[in-house]
């Protein structure tokens, strides 16, 4: 069964955005994420920011990149819920970790955090509505 056909069989909250809308939002956020995370990694490589500051950014990047393979590849809704909680919590950690070094980069995480907060509530709702399915 194709991924979208499987996705369409899931019970979803009435407020679930369409896959096109979700893709559009990520398409807008990924350049912001790329620029801000790239800036942090560059500053770490230049020795201008302690290496430990990059840790939440690395964890976030890995968890973010794993979400779709877990959700649509493995079709594991509960594991995807755990993954998105990691993404959500590491965005907060990123903001706190970078704040003393670059407040602009910290503030640049706000749109990402807002969207992932919505996506987290959606994923947790999907998980609850499809538990055992």
pLDDT in tens, 121-130: 999 999 999 9
Q: 118 pLDDT exceeds 80?
A: yes
pLDDT at 132: 78
Residue whose entry in the numeric block shows the structure tokens 């609850």: 128
Cα angle, residue 100 at apex, residues 86 and 55 outer, rounded to 5°: 35
pLDDT band at 1 (very low <50, low <70, confident <90, very high): confident
CA–CA distance, 62 with 13 (Å, rounded to integer): 27
Which long-range contacts (C-beta less than 8 Å, at least 24 apart) are formed by 127-132?
A: 127/77, 127/78, 127/80, 127/81, 129/10, 129/11, 129/12, 129/13, 130/10, 130/11, 130/77, 131/77, 131/78
pLDDT band at 88 (very low <50, low <70, confident <90, very high): very high
| Average predicted confidence (pLDDT) for the chain | 96
Q: 21 pLDDT exceeds 90?
A: yes
The tens digit of pLDDT for each residue in 32-56 reads 999 999 999 999 999 999 999 999 9
Cα angle, residue 127 at apex, residues 125 and 131 outer, rounded to 5°: 130
Q: Where are the domains of the chain?
A: 19-129
Q: 84 pLDDT exceeds 80?
A: yes
Q: State which H helix or E strand residue 14 sits in.
A: none
What is the pTM assigned to this prediction?
A: 0.94
Q: What is the average pLDDT across 95-105?
A: 98
pLDDT band at 67 (very low <50, low <70, confident <90, very high): very high
Q: Which of 131, 52, 123 is nearest to 93 (CA)?
A: 52
Q: 133 pLDDT exceeds 80?
A: no
């Amino acid at each position: 069964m194709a991924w979208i056909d499987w996705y369409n069989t899931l019970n979803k909250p009435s407020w679930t955005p369409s896959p096109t809308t979700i893709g559009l939002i990520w398409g807008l956020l990924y350049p912001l994420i790329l620029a801000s995370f790239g800036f942090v990694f560059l500053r770490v490589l230049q020795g201008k920011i302690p290496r430990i500051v990059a840790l939440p950014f690395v964890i976030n990047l890995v968890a973010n990149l794993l979400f779709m393979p877990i959700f649509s590849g493995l079709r594991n809704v509960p594991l995807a819920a755990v993954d998105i909680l990691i993404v959500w919590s590491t965005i907060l950690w990123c903001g706190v970790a970078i704040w003393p070094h670059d407040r602009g980069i910290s503030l640049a995480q706000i749109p990402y955090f807002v969207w992932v907060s919505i996506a987290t509530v959606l994923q947790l709702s999907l998980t609850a509505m499809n538990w055992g399915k």
